[in-house]
Amino acid sequence: MKNPLVSIIIPCFNVTEFIEESVQSALNQDYSNIEIIIVDDGSTEDVHSVVKQFLTESVSFFKKENGGLASARNFGIDKSNGELILPLDSDDKIHETYVSKAVNIFTQRSEVSLVYSKAALFGAEKGEWKMGDYSFKHLLLDNMIFCSAIFKKEKFLNVGKYNEKFRFGREDWDLWLRYLDEESIVIKIPEELFFYRKHSGNSMSDQFSNALENNVNLFDLFYFNRKLYARHFDNPITQLHRNKELEIKYQKLQLKYLSLKKSFYERLKEKIKSFIK
C-alpha cells in the first residue's frame, strides 16, 4: 500500500450549521491523496446550498432518501474509490495530520487492520475524551474505538458493511466486532487527532440516545453477534445462576461481617466499663 487514496465519508442529516467545519477539517489534511464524499441522508434542510462551495473533482455530494446513519455511510463508501475509509460525522472534526499519520502506519505495516487516535471533546464540553485502550476482549464488553477510525475498504466489504438495522446507534461497535478479531492489529496514535462535538442539540450519532433505545441497541448488538459472544462467554442462563450464587455468598459474608462488627463493639464496651470501674 503506497500513497493510498483515502475516502472521507461525511454523512449529514440536517445540523447544517456545523458541516462547513467538518468538511474544512477534511480539506485541511496535509495528505493530498484524498476524496471527500458528502451524503445528505434525506435532510429537510438545504444541505447542498451550504456545501456547494466545496464541491470539486475530489469533493462530491449525493442526496438519498433517509435511511439512518449506517445507511448513509454505506452509501458513501459504495460511491468511494479509496483503499482506506474514514467516516466523519458532519458535526465532528479531524486534525490536519490525522490522515497522513494513519497512512504512514498502514504503509509501513501491511498487517494493520485499523488505525485511530486519542480524541478530544469540543463545543459544549471540552477536554480529553477518555476511552479505554483497545483489546478485542474489552471490545466485546465496551466500544473504545470512535466511529472515525481509518480502515481498509476491501475488508469492510468482506465483513458485510455497516448493519443498517442499527437505526439507533451502536452501528460502529457492531462493525468493529465483525471487522476485527483476536489476531487483528489495531494501532492507536497517542495524540488527540479526532474532535467529537458535544452540544445541547443532537448530533447525527446521538439523536437516538435515550435509555430504552440504548437497551434495544445492546440487545441487537448481542443478538447479531451471538455466535461471537457464545465463544467467549457462558450462555445467559448459566451466567444468571452464577450471579445468583455470588449474590447469596455476598449476603452471607455481609451478615458475618455485621455479626463480627457487633461482637467487636460489645467486647470493646465491656473492656471500657471494666477500665472505668
Assign residue 110 the CATH number of its domain: 3.90.550.10
Count CB neighbours of 113 within 10 A: 18
Residue 1 lies in a domain: no
Same domain, 68 and 95: yes
**pTM, whole model, 2 decimals?**
0.82
195 pLDDT more than 90: yes
Calculate the CA dihedral of residues 46, 169, 185, 160 and round it to 10 degrees. -80
Rounded to the nearest integer, the mean pLDDT of the chain is 90
Give 232's Cβ-side CA count (13 Å radius).
15
Looking at the DSSP bridge assignments, the partners of residue 188 are: 116
The pLDDT score that the predictor gives to residue 213 is: 60
- The pLDDT value recorded for residue 33 is 98
Please indicate, yes or no, whether residues 112 and 32 belong to a single structural domain of this protein.
yes
Same domain for 19 and 142, yes or no, is yes
- Please check whether residue 8 is in contact with residue 26, taking contact to mean a CB–CB distance below 8 angstroms: yes
Domain presence at residue 28: yes
**pLDDT value, residue 207:** 45
Name which of 138, 152, 130, 14 is nearest 83 in CA terms.
152
Is 96:27 a contact under the CB 8 Å cutoff?
Answer: no
Does the pLDDT at position 28 exceed 90? yes
Lowest mean pLDDT among 21-30, 42-51, 79-88, 208-217: 208-217
Q: Write out pLDDT tens, residues 6-21.
A: 999 999 999 899 999 9
CA–CA separation, 27 and 48 (whole Å) = 17
- Quick one: 157 and 268 in the same domain? no
Query: What residues are paired with 189 via a beta bridge?
Result: 117
Predicted local distance difference test score (pLDDT) of residue 78: 98
**Residue 193 scores a pLDDT above 80:** yes
- Let me know: does 109 contact 202? Beta carbons within 8 Å: no
Domain match, 15 and 44 both: yes
Q: Kindly state whether residues 135 and 268 are assigned to the same domain.
A: no
Mean of the pLDDT values across residues 155-180?
Answer: 94
Q: Both 50 and 124 in a single domain?
A: yes
Domain span including residue 251: 236-277
The count of structural domains within the chain is: 2
Residues 69 and 128 in one domain: yes
- Residue 107's contacts (CB-CB under 8 Å, 6 or more residues apart) are 1, 2, 3, 4
Question: Nearest Cα to 41, choosing from 18, 74, 8?
Answer: 74
What pLDDT shows up at residue 236?
Answer: 63
Residue 215 lies in a domain: yes
Strands (E), 88-216: 93-94, 112-123, 127-129, 150-152, 185-198
| pLDDT, position 254 | 86
Residue 186, in any domain of the structure? yes
138 in a domain, yes or no? yes
Per the CB < 8 A criterion, the answer to whether 74 and 61 are in contact is: no
104-115 tens-digit pLDDT: 999 999 999 999
Contact 169, 210 (CB under 8 A): no
Q: Do residues 11 and 138 share a domain?
A: yes
pLDDT at 209 over 50: no
Q: Which of 224, 235, 104 is nearest to 164 (CA)?
A: 224
Q: Are residues 109 and 123 in the same domain?
A: yes
Q: How confident is the model at residue 214 (pLDDT cuts 50, 70, 90)?
A: low
**Whether 182 and 57 share a structural domain:** yes
Indicate whether 44 and 113 sit together in one domain.
yes
